Chains A and B, each alone.
Chain A
Amino acid sequence: MKPRFLALAAALLGASVLALATAEARPLKWAASGDALTLDPHAQNEGPTTSLNQHIYESLTERDHAGKLLPLLATSWRVLPEDPTVWEFKLQQGVKFHDGSALTADDVVFSYERAMQPTSDFKGYLTSVEKVSKTDDMTVQIKTKGPNPLLVNNTSSIRILSKAWAEKNNAVKTQDFKNKEENFAVRNANGTGPFILVSREADVKTVMKRNDAYWNKGKVPLEITELTLVPIKQDATRVAALLSGEVDFVQDVPVQDIARLRSQPKIKVNSGPENRTIFFGMNVGSADLKSDNVEGKNPFADKRVRQALNMAINRPAIQRVVMRGESVPTGVIMPPFVNGWTKELDAAPPTDMAKAKALLAEAGYPNGFSTTLHCPNDRYVNDEGICQAAVGMFGQIGVKVNLVSQSKSIHFNLIQRNPAETDFYLVGWGVPTYDSDYIFSYMYHSRTGSQGSWNATGYSDKDVDAMIQSLSREVDLPKRDATIAKLWTKLKDETIYLPIHHQSLSYAMTAPLDIPVDVGNNPKLKMVSFKGS
């Protein structure tokens, strides 16, 4: 029996090696709703920009499509046992930039320093860093201001460029909008990634060719010979381009087209959760609301009112009707991939109008009250629809909500002003570090110059702030996780935010492609294989 099994295994192995050797290689056209803003890897921390740049530039670590942290340009890392404030990264041998020069520790040190400049859009990931230095050609040390047990989580966002190239082309600094010159790195690139930039016309197309000297060749399929990114803004046109075979892969599929695309024989649609949760925020901090009809009191300051609103939201109905099934209702403002997430926290309160009304009456609003809800209409999937549905639901318990939906450029401005200029608003939040701390410090920490920048609720609790601050210093991970759990239990009970759902993503592609949905919505096209054909 055993020898036969071995023979079979050998045959299978042979077949798969053969398949690998004859694997198809062909070009791929990729359509998305928006184009990258720049090729500069440190100038814009924005979804479509990262989606494109990650194919040209690489980081010390990367996230796979499920959000798992993997080594990339760094082969290993550790916190120095003698000094908890120093992280050490060993670099991959034999990595070459597209211009043929070799990657060394100097390039990494240079790139981190570049990302920490005042005009860099990635400095937020490195605020805890004091100094980056090289110990030898293949080793880099990052010293933090205090112990930072989770620094490695942030390294997947910091892309590495060549020091010599940047110096030669006067691109040592990222784009500064004050001096009115174009930065060389905006339209030119020299990374270590699987694809090499061939040409770029912003908002028209970006063409990349396969990097045949890619250091990680053989470990990843890398079957796309030429990768072309075409931004197509209009939903209907983007879908039409896929149906007509002009593009092979569409990243932003409108929810209303998913069912129709699924019914097409040659088209495959993959859906999955995105690292983003959608929720309402309320002004709980003010003594009185500007937008309500209650004098001298702030109804949102009463926990019972917030709980009543939370119960009034019919999440399954929003999922079914507004999102056409493409969302995961939730009771916590944390995507499931994040450290700290539990099933219990994720459970949403059941919709219970009678109980909600009773709670409102108990809080002194038997006839409800009126207020204004601000909502973006061009940021999240069906954002305006969610708000319209919720307004109807709040109306059922007597809370009359006046809906104001507007463009994200205006909406986010209301939230980010200090003090915030909205009493009730919709917002979505993704967690690029995959740790609860990121949510706490932006959404729950009191608003100070450097923290709580998205906390427009006015919520401020000294104990909570202290616990949040302890997270960034705590080296003992089990102890840290315990603090996270404690914080969530308290904050979920406080109901500062009304969670609605985790947003889902859908990718559509022509068979035999099978590109999995990337939780960060940055599809990794080096992993694409045409083997199904």
Chain B
Amino acid sequence: MLAYILRSLMQGLVVMLAVAFIAFSMFRFVGDPVVNMLGQEATLQDRAELTERLGLNDPVALQFARFVGDAARGDFGISYRQGRKVSALIMERLPATVELAVLSALFAFVVGVSLGVYAAIRRDGWIANLVMSLSLIGVSLPTFLIGIGLIYIFAVELRWLPSFGRGDVVMIGWWSTGLLTKTGLQSLVMPVLTLGFLQLTLIMRLVRSEMLEVMRADFIRFARARGIPERRIEFRHALRNTMIPVITIAGVQLGGVIAFAIVTETVFQWPGLGALFVNAVQFVDVPVMSAYLLFVAFVFVVTSLVVDLVYVALDPRLRTGNPAMAK
């Protein structure tokens, strides 16, 4: 087991290095940071000097080596855009993104599974059909539109919820949380709904189809024959067997939600990592972009590892012997 985890971590490290290198070689297509760092009065000489000072004239490979070397020592450099340490910026923005992502994932998971189970059990009920049709909208509507739509209904027309930002936050050590204040909680509602909606519909449709499949399986028929109450069959036997693929999807998606909350964060001016990244791309803030992409790779590596471990907990067959065999 330990060997398995270690091996996964080693693979993860290779993935992260590869991501960093690909990202690094792409940066020159994003533009030239010097253009944004100097005012319009700058002369050609000034530009040349700053380019040299930033080491941007060096070959990409050398720049990359320097970046990896510094990163290994925990030094991600200083933001071209804000003149602050990149590590400090990321730590500052991390809580906002994590709170948003975890709440959205939780919302998507709980509501998605409940609705999915309901839609599977009451397959022909009109509510189930309505939910299924609505979920189609969820899958096809862009996140951006959902966000703007919510803002217009709940912020502009009804004035119940704030249209942007995080509200008041409380600092617990270095972690800033919006979960402890009224404005903080209010500010979370719309971004959580927006970010969670797509995942919700995916999970719901997945649970429904898996559940329908499982309900046709032989062991369910036997369970019925044994006279086990229908509720118990549905929730104890069927649902548990439905969960394996659902956990995979939900787990991988949690990584995606943390990493790509970019659109939602931009729509709601949510001060998280996604917004930091968008601003960095526009400014060609190379240190922030590289650190962010490395962070995203890290999140994916960790979540897929955790998903693998959760499998083991859920599926007794995986606990003995080589986990790869059971697949």
Q: Is the A/B pair a real complex?
A: yes
Point out the residue from B35, B164, B266, B276 that lies within 8 Å of A408, measured CB to CB: B35
With CB as the reference atom, state the residue of chain B lying closest to A428: B40
Kindly state the separation between the CA atoms of A451 and B279 in the bound complex, as whole angstroms: 31
Point out the residue from B166, B266, B279 that lies within 8 Å of A234, measured CB to CB: B266
Interface window among A89-97, A173-181, A365-373, A510-518: A173-181
Given contacts A118-B49, A121-B38, contact A236 B148 (CB under 8 A): yes
Contact B43 A449, beta carbon cutoff 8 Å: yes
- A131-146 residues at the B interface, CB under 8 angstroms: none
- A381-433 residues at the B interface, CB under 8 angstroms: 407-410, 412-413, 416, 418, 429-430
B218 adjacent to chain A (CB < 8 Å):
no
Contact B284 A121, beta carbon cutoff 8 Å: no
B229 adjacent to chain A (CB < 8 Å):
no
Interface window among A18-26, A35-43, A206-214, A300-308: A35-43
CB of B117, distance to nearest CB on chain A (Å): 36
Contact A182 B54, beta carbon cutoff 8 Å: no
Contact B35 A416, beta carbon cutoff 8 Å: yes
Point out the residue from A177, A186, A447, A454 that lies within 8 Å of B54, measured CB to CB: A177
Contact B78 A237, beta carbon cutoff 8 Å: no
Point out the residue from A178, A409, A430 that lies within 8 Å of B31, measured CB to CB: A409
Point out the residue from A201, A205, A416 that lies within 8 Å of B47, measured CB to CB: A416
A46 adjacent to chain B (CB < 8 Å):
yes
- Residues of B with C-beta under 8 A to A453: 42-44, 47
Q: What's the tally of chain B residues with a CB closer than 8 Å to chain A?
A: 55
- Residues of A with C-beta under 8 A to B256: none
- Residues of B with C-beta under 8 A to A450: 43-45
Given contacts A180-B85, A234-B269, A236-B148, contact A409 B35 (CB under 8 A): yes
CB of A263, distance to nearest CB on chain B (Å): 14
CB of B287, distance to nearest CB on chain A (Å): 9
Contact B35 A180, beta carbon cutoff 8 Å: no
Q: What's the tally of chain A residues with a CB closer than 8 Å to chain B?
A: 59
- Residues of B with C-beta under 8 A to A483: none
A259 adjacent to chain B (CB < 8 Å):
no
Interface window among A159-167, A240-248, A277-285, A315-323: A240-248
- A236-295 residues at the B interface, CB under 8 angstroms: 236-238, 240-241, 243-246
Point out the residue from B32, B41, B156 that lies within 8 Å of A45, measured CB to CB: B41
Contact A230 B165, beta carbon cutoff 8 Å: yes
With CB as the reference atom, state the residue of chain A lying closest to B81: A37
Contact B162 A246, beta carbon cutoff 8 Å: yes
Kindly state the separation between the CA atoms of A187 and B92 in the bound complex, as whole angstroms: 14
Given contacts A177-B54, A180-B77, A412-B35, contact A38 B40 (CB under 8 A): no
B152 adjacent to chain A (CB < 8 Å):
yes
Kindly state the separation between the CA atoms of A512 and B260 in the bound complex, as whole angstroms: 41
Contact A45 B39, beta carbon cutoff 8 Å: yes
Contact A451 B43, beta carbon cutoff 8 Å: yes
CB of B125, distance to nearest CB on chain A (Å): 37
Contact B44 A418, beta carbon cutoff 8 Å: yes
Most B C-beta atoms less than 10 A away, residue of A121, A201, A244, A429: A244
Kindly state the separation between the CA atoms of A180 and B80 in the bound complex, as whole angstroms: 10
B53 adjacent to chain A (CB < 8 Å):
yes
Point out the residue from B78, B151, B152 that lies within 8 Å of A181, measured CB to CB: B78
A7 adjacent to chain B (CB < 8 Å):
no
A521 adjacent to chain B (CB < 8 Å):
no
Mask for A434-447, Cβ within 8 A of B = 1, else 0? 00000000100001
Contact B39 A121, beta carbon cutoff 8 Å: yes
A231 adjacent to chain B (CB < 8 Å):
yes
Given contacts A201-B271, A203-B275, A409-B32, contact A449 B80 (CB under 8 A): no
- Residues of A with C-beta under 8 A to B54: 177-178
- B28-87 residues at the A interface, CB under 8 angstroms: 29-33, 35-47, 49-50, 53-54, 75, 77-78, 80-85
Contact A407 B31, beta carbon cutoff 8 Å: yes
Contact B84 A182, beta carbon cutoff 8 Å: yes
Point out the residue from A125, A175, A177, A183 that lies within 8 Å of B41, measured CB to CB: A125
A479 adjacent to chain B (CB < 8 Å):
no
Contact B164 A230, beta carbon cutoff 8 Å: yes
Kindly state the separation between the CA atoms of A182 and B33 in the bound complex, as whole angstroms: 18
Contact B44 A447, beta carbon cutoff 8 Å: yes
CB of A460, distance to nearest CB on chain B (Å): 14
CB of B72, distance to nearest CB on chain A (Å): 15
CB of B284, distance to nearest CB on chain A (Å): 5
- Residues of A with C-beta under 8 A to B275: 203, 233
Contact B78 A180, beta carbon cutoff 8 Å: yes
- B195-210 residues at the A interface, CB under 8 angstroms: none
Kindly state the separation between the CA atoms of A201 and B284 in the bound complex, as whole angstroms: 21
- Residues of B with C-beta under 8 A to A237: 148, 151, 163-164, 267-269
Contact A233 B266, beta carbon cutoff 8 Å: yes
Kindly state the separation between the CA atoms of A175 and B53 in the bound complex, as whole angstroms: 13
- Residues of B with C-beta under 8 A to A176: 53
Kindly state the separation between the CA atoms of A178 and B53 in the bound complex, as whole angstroms: 6
B283 adjacent to chain A (CB < 8 Å):
yes
Given contacts A186-B83, A204-B271, A232-B269, contact A122 B163 (CB under 8 A): no
Given contacts A240-B156, A409-B35, contact A378 B282 (CB under 8 A): yes
Contact B165 A204, beta carbon cutoff 8 Å: yes
- Residues of A with C-beta under 8 A to B164: 230, 232, 237-238, 240-241, 246
B278 adjacent to chain A (CB < 8 Å):
yes
Contact B31 A204, beta carbon cutoff 8 Å: no
CB of B170, distance to nearest CB on chain A (Å): 14
- Residues of A with C-beta under 8 A to B45: 449-450
Kindly state the separation between the CA atoms of A416 and B46 in the bound complex, as whole angstroms: 11
8 of the cross-chain contacts (CB-CB < 8 Å) are A121-B38, A181-B78, A186-B84, A233-B266, A233-B269, A236-B148, A413-B31, A450-B43
Supplied contacts A177-B80, A237-B268, A442-B40, 17 more A-B pairs, CB within 8 Å: A121-B39, A124-B41, A180-B85, A182-B84, A202-B82, A234-B267, A236-B267, A237-B151, A240-B155, A241-B164, A407-B30, A407-B282, A409-B284, A447-B44, A450-B43, A450-B45, A453-B42
Q: A-contacting residues of B (Cβ < 8 Å)?
A: 29-33, 35-47, 49-50, 53-54, 75, 77-78, 80-85, 88, 148, 151-152, 155-156, 159, 162-166, 266-269, 271, 275-276, 278-279, 282-284
